Amino acid sequence: MTDRASSVIGIFDNPRQLMAAIPAVRARVQGRLEAYTPYPIHGMEEALGLRKSPVGGMVFIMGVIGAVSALAFEMWTEGIDYPLMTAGKPVLSWQAFIPIMFEVTVLFACFTAGLGMLLVLNRLPFFRHPMLQSKSMPLITRDRFALAVEADERPLDVATITAALRDAGAESIEVIERLAPVGPVSPRFLLRVALGVALSCLVAGYLTYWGVKLFPLAVPVVHMLDQPRLDPQRESAFFADGSGMRLPVAGTIARGHMPYTIPDSDAAAAALANPLPRTESVLRRGRQAFNTYCTVCHGVLGDGRPSLTAAYGAKPANLVAQAIRDYSDGKIYQAIVMGRNAMPSYAADLSEDERWAVVHYVRALQRALNARDEDIPTGVSK
């Protein structure tokens, strides 16, 4: 029986006796001393020789970790991952970061204080503490003060302890036996479950973040794309004829496009004058438009030698030949707008400015491929 005892409890009548008994008993016995009282007794921690609680240090460290991690998270999301400018404020505004940082600091610190104290340091929940089964329990929750010598690794010397407690003034002694090991649901098991849940939450959060980022078409992320709106080239129940594609309202024109009212007459076209000045920016714009739309058929140099093969059939005009050099600007403009022979109209592709810029560029090509000696800059040998 002796080696199965988990603790020996001495019951005292008042706190003074208990406090006096502690050093007396400690001098004579081996084992961990614990005191059970109905209310906190001043000076008990020093008397029992308990170490200073590490809660303060834990809370401070976790508070700092909370502050730093919250700030880093905010700086990363706002500064690197998804910068959002709100109300014209700078993207990395420390002022806006402070409230969240404060709250996360308090969160980490409070959880550490509460849960750390309860779960980690006090190893709660205690399902089967031996004291709870003892006969002394009703006494120490009422009006008695107990000093218990509890077994650590070594078995308790019950006789010595009993004698020491009696000599110190205990009015009754109780020996509590070691209880059978607990079943599967032990505190350690619960702690492991809690840690497992916490870890799963962490992993799930991480996976969700990356999943949403990498798989935008997976349900439900795709709901952002799948919206009840009118998409191009789709039917629509909103309109009577069921078609989502509508013609412009009669009598209206698109912004930036004026209707071309010159009749299909060369003389009228010749009267048009190029409104744009011949500047480098205009020529650059003309070059860009020409390279996009015209070189397919007329060639990069505008000489009617495109990259099209002979299978194409039609023969595009040589824009740098004398015939086109004799065209007025307005006639070239009309060819762009109305089309000519096999060439379709490019009015929808080029705005009015772009068309005139292309005309300037064609003139530049014509001059370049029909250069005269006078065109060579001075200083360059002929």
Partner 1 sequence: MSGNQAARNLRLAAAAGLAGVVATGFVSGWERFWANWIVWFLFVLTIGLGGLFLVALEHVVGARWSVPLRRVAERISGLALLMGPVALLALLALPRLYPWAQAEGVQDPVVAAKAAWLNVPFFVLRVVVCVGLWTLAHWIFVGGSLRQDRDHDVRFNVRARRLAPIFMIVFAVTITIVSFDWISSLEPSWYSDVFGVYLFAGTFLAGLAATTLVALHLLSRGRLPGVGRDHMYNLGGFLFAFAVFWSYIGFAQYLLMWYANLPEEVFWYREHLDGLWGTLVLLLAALHFVVPFVVLVPRTAKSDARRLFWVAAIMLVAHWLDLYWMIFPVLGKGPLLGWQELSFAAFFLSTGFLWIGWELTRGADMPVGDPFLREGLAFHL
172 strand-pairing partners: 11
Total chain residues near partner 1 (CB under 8 A):
10
Considering only 95, 227, 252, 378, the residue that binds partner 1 (CB under 8 A) is 95
Considering only 99, 125, 196, 344, the residue that binds partner 1 (CB under 8 A) is 99
| Contact positions with partner 1 (CB under 8 A) in 289-328 | none
Q: Name the one range near partner 1 by CB under 8 A: 88-96, 120-128, 193-201, 231-239.
A: 88-96
| Contact positions with partner 1 (CB under 8 A) in 133-162 | none
Q: Report CA 26 to chain centroid distance, whole Å.
A: 58
As measured in angstroms, the least distance from the Cβ of 78 to partner 1 is: 15
As measured in angstroms, the least distance from the Cβ of 23 to partner 1 is: 20
Considering only 60, 111, 206, 209, the residue that binds partner 1 (CB under 8 A) is 60
199-216 burial: b if 16+ Cβ within 10 Å, else e: eeeeeeeeeeeeeeeeee
Q: Please, which residue, 87 or 249, has the CB nearer to partner 1?
A: 87
Q: How far apart are CA 112 and CA 64, in angstroms?
A: 12
Considering only 98, 132, 201, 348, the residue that binds partner 1 (CB under 8 A) is 98
Q: Name the one range near partner 1 by CB under 8 A: 67-75, 87-95, 244-252, 358-366.
A: 87-95
User: Which of 355, 362, 317, 301 lies closest to 333 in space, CA to CA?
Assistant: 355
Q: Please, which residue, 60 or 206, has the CB nearer to partner 1?
A: 60
As measured in angstroms, the least distance from the Cβ of 92 to partner 1 is: 14
Q: Please, which residue, 56 or 205, has the CB nearer to partner 1?
A: 56
Token pair in block for residue 11: 């019951």
What's the per-residue H, E or C state across 4-40? HEEEEEEEECCHHHHHHHHHHHHHHCCCEEEEECCCC
As measured in angstroms, the least distance from the Cβ of 42 to partner 1 is: 5
Residue 58 sits in the site that holds partner 1 (CB under 8 A)? no
Q: Please, which residue, 96 or 110, has the CB nearer to partner 1?
A: 96
Q: Name the one range near partner 1 by CB under 8 A: 89-97, 111-119, 172-180, 282-290.
A: 89-97
Task: Yes or no: say if 175 and 5 are a contact pair by the CB < 8 Å rule.
Answer: yes
Q: How far apart are CA 340 and CA 108, in angstroms?
A: 76
Q: Please, which residue, 52 or 255, has the CB nearer to partner 1?
A: 52
Residue 56 sits in the site that holds partner 1 (CB under 8 A)? yes
Residue 297: count other Cβ atoms within 10 Å of its Cβ.
Answer: 17
Considering only 67, 96, 338, 343, the residue that binds partner 1 (CB under 8 A) is 96
Give phi and psi for 10, each to the nearest 5.
-110, 130
Q: Name the one range near partner 1 by CB under 8 A: 85-93, 128-136, 292-300, 352-360.
A: 85-93
Token pair in block for residue 316: 């595009």
| Contact positions with partner 1 (CB under 8 A) in 231-290 | none
Considering only 42, 154, 223, 382, the residue that binds partner 1 (CB under 8 A) is 42
Q: Which residues bind partner 1 (CB under 8 A)?
A: 42, 56, 60, 87-89, 95-96, 98-99
